Amino acid sequence: MIFEPNKIKENGLFYGDNLYIMQGLINIGYKEKFDMIYFDGPFNSGWVFSVFNKRLDERIIDPWNEAATIKNFYHSDIYRSNYRERIATARELLNEKGILVFHTSQKEGHYLKVILDEIFGPNRFLGEVVWKFADNAVYKKSQFGLNHESLFFYAKTDHYFKKKDVSYSSVWDDVGQYEHLGEEDTFYATQKPEKLMERILEMTTSEGDLVGDFYCGSGSLSFTAEKMNRRWLASDNSRLAIQTAASRIGTLGVDVTVHQLVEEFNRTYLQGNEYTKKTKIPFSLNELQGLKNELGNTPVTVQAYEYTPEIDLLENQHITFQLIMPSITPEGIDATAPAIVPRPVPLVTESGCELIIDNPLNWILYHIVHGEIEENQYVFDFAVLQQRAHGVDLKVMGNWIDRMKEYSEYYLLTDIFGYIYKVTKQKEVQYER
């Protein structure tokens, strides 16, 4: 696996699975380079993360992330195992004065603290901070309410960063709340206040230190780190999160580079005239060139979870691109039986740029919230879901492109669900390695 662009630029964003990204950073020399790493990942509450789209009047999701949310909720052992791998990898990235700040909630926090103790050692536990995120109980179950989250602080070694003559309270009710973000609000769910990020950074780092945020969401930590003269690297597996973070950090005058991992051509993925990815790492030019070398102009079908937009710049008349998606059935979303969906095709026409969608209703169906977990039960109504998809289709009216940016040789398109495409202004572009 390699990063594209391959020249890592601090301060930079990474799109994709943070386990692969952290391992990739270790491979290129970032082992024991980070002074602080902040983890603010899923709380396994069963809440399906989405972004509300005003134009569509719908909550937009990544179907694979939604499927993982539901699976983890009913199989906490998988959730904790996934976190264990990431915590262990984060520890490798920390230097001897490094600190891990682990943000969680009461549902899984006690289990995850046991894992943190196992990986870092119980004697490396520095303390727990309670962040009061609302004045009144937001989540209620009988007479038990919830209006706080927890932050666990762990040191890599006994030589961790210490501030002289300073002692912080273990209850923070003076660093902002979810409901009172004011002008800093990006309307991204779970966005953390800048004051909270400032407190974390000031008690764990100095100017010039390198910090990592591998569940970056709207980019609150990176945005604040930039303002406080910290170096940073951040990642997320949500396209919408990366786009939100890049746009937000860009307001500070920072030219944000977005990196992602790609693979080389893998012959074991090729069966006859089908090349089927086994990982969720995007299909890229590297693999496309390998296919060309292997099969020449023989027609081939590629099936992948994601694609890098550069593949749209090439003449691919012999290649059909398809997306691997979880199945949507009357019973709900099913990740165990993937479906194959044609990938949208970007085109330049006389009237401008457009996307060709093979089955618009089906495409919409994959990207709106499908169900909710209520009182530990997954609530799903397929008939209502189909009606909502029809409603979105009427609003879209074939105009799938949300944003378009023009460059000298191509257009950069972002569709209403956050997918990115590059389409050349020329009719033919020859690929050169």
The pLDDT score that the predictor gives to residue 5 is: 85
The pLDDT score that the predictor gives to residue 89 is: 98
The pLDDT score that the predictor gives to residue 428 is: 41
What number is the average pLDDT over the span 62-78? 93
Least-confidence region, from 107-111, 391-395, 421-425:
421-425
Least-confidence region, from 115-129, 175-189, 250-264:
175-189
The pLDDT score that the predictor gives to residue 426 is: 65
Which domains occur in the chain, in start order? 9-261 (3.40.50.150), 262-424 (no CATH)
pLDDT digits (tens, 9 = 90+) for 303-355: 999 999 999 888 777 899 999 999 998 988 888 889 999 999 999 988 889 99
Residue percentage of the chain with pLDDT more than 90: 75
The pLDDT score that the predictor gives to residue 314 is: 81
SS (H, E, C) the chain: CEEECCCCCCCEEEECCHHHHHHHHHHHHHCCCEEEEEECCCCCCCCCCCEEECCCCEEECCHHHHHHHHHHHHCHHHHHHHHHHHHHHHHHHEEEEEEEEEEECCCCHHHHHHHHHHHHCHHHEEEEEEEECCCCCCEEECCEEECEEEEEEEECCCCCCCCCCCCCCCEECCCCCHHHCHHHCCCCCCCCCHHHHHHHHHHHCCCCCEEEECCCCCCHHHHHHHHCCCEEEEEECCHHHHHHHHHHHHCCCCCCEEEEEECCCCHHHEECCEEECCCCCCECHHHHHHHHHHHCCCCEEEEECCECHHHHHCCCCCEEEEEEEEEEECCEEEEEEEEEEECCEEEEECCEEEEECCCHHHHHHHHECCEEEECCEEEECHHHHHHHHHHHHHHHCCCCEEEEEECCCEEEEEECCCCEEEEECCCCCCCCC
What's the mean per-residue pLDDT of the chain? 92
At residue 429, does pLDDT exceed 70? no
Residue percentage of the chain with pLDDT more than 70: 98
pLDDT digits (tens, 9 = 90+) for 225-284: 999 999 999 999 988 899 999 999 999 999 899 999 999 999 999 999 999 999 999 999
Predicted confidence band at 375 (pLDDT cuts at 50, 70, 90)?
Answer: confident
At residue 427, does pLDDT exceed 60? no
